[in-house]
């Protein structure tokens, strides 16, 4: 019997590439997205179920899991990919923006994980792959709310492995560096309107970070390929950094104290 993976946020970016990767490798794929009726390509692929799942709406989570089990009999792997990036000065970030950032990146991920655990526990087998970021290990300017969510995902996942490993369930973290994907192109920004103190630093940081993503030259397919490896390598490896910049930055962080790393980041962004 073919194995089955459920992927959230499958309409674009890493999620879309990951659907294609698993499908090409012969897996059954439950490709979930908030607006599933607009999807045309995946509905033509063999062994792919396209269905609605909004990580902020619990009814859609339970329904998508039930539909996947009904169609394929079993789910073996969950890939929590859905997310988005909120950037800008914390002081000017609205309550609505903060709530959305945490509802999608943290509470949504937790709710999907919680909903599928009984199925995995009943099978005494399963893998939960959570998309984090190097932004879950190190922090950059004007991205405090995004970093707060990714640091939360890291801690949640690392702790949860102690609970679930004895039940046959493994936990994995995917930590991409800078890639030119929709999460960057559609990032939500809070702007310091009327607070001139932030303007110069914000303008420099925004230009620098956009340039890093657009000019990184890194292939997003690498993230999908690493996700497949994490699902199939039969190890208890927790973290999978992806990208040359991820390895470089995390390597530098391990060799520097807090002040040295902050100085490096400020100088690299011209702050």
Q: Any catalytic annotation for residue 162?
A: no
> Which helix (H) or strand (E) covers residue 260, if one does?
helix 258-269
DSSP track, 41-59: SGGGSTTEEEEE--TT-HH
Residues contacting 159, CB < 8 A, separation 6+: none
Q: Which two tokens stand for residue 22?
A: 């698993």
Choosing from 84, 131, 142, 146, the catalytic residue is 146
Contact 261, 251 (CB under 8 A): no
- DSSP state string for 127-159: EEEEE--GGGTS--TT-HHHHHHHHHHHHHHHH
Active site residue 190: no
Active site residue 150: yes
Helix-then-strand count for the chain, H and E: 10, 9
CA angle 248, 143, 207 (to 5 degrees): 75
Cα separation, 24 vs 22, in Å, equals: 5
126-131 vs 86-87, strand pairing mode: unpaired
DSSP symbols for 173-199: EEEE----SHHHHT-EE---TT-GGGH
Catalytic residue among 3, 20, 21, 150: 150
Q: For residue 27, give the nearest of 235, 248, 247, 227 by alpha carbon.
A: 227
Catalytic residue annotation: 132, 146, 150
């Amino acid at each position: 019997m073919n194995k089955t993976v459920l992927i959230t946020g499958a309409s674009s970016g890493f999620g879309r590439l990951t659907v294609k990767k698993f499908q090409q490798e012969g897996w059954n794929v439950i490709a979930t997205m908030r607006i599933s009726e607009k999807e045309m390509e995946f509905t033509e692929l063999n062994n792919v179920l396209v269905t609605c799942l909004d990580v902020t709406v619990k009814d859609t989570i339970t329904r998508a899991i039930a539909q996947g089990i009904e169609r394929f009999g079993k789910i073996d792997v969950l890939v929590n990919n859905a997310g988005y990036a909120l950037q800008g000065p914390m002081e000017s970030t609205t309550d609505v923006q903060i709530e959305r950032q945490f509802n999608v990146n943290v509470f949504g991920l937790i709710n999907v994980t919680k909903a599928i655990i009984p199925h995995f526990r009943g099978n005494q087998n399963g893998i939960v792959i959570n998309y984090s970021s190097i932004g879950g290990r190190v922090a950059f300017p004007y991205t405090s709310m995004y970093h707060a969510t990714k640091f939360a995902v890291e801690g949640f996942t690392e702790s949860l492995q102690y609970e679930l490993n004895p039940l046959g369930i493994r936990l994995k973290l995917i930590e991409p560096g800078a890639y030119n994907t929709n999460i960057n192109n559609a990032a939500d920004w809070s702007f310091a309107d009327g607070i001139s103190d932030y303007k110069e630093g914000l303008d420099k940081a925004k230009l620098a970070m956009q340039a890093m993503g657009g000019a990184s030259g890194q292939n997003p397919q690498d993230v999908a390929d690493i996700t497949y490896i994490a699902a199939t390598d039969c190890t208890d490896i927790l973290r999978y950094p992806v990208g040359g910049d991820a390895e470089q930055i995390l390597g530098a962080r391990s060799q520097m104290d807090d002040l040295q790393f902050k100085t490096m980041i400020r100088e690299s962004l011209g702050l």
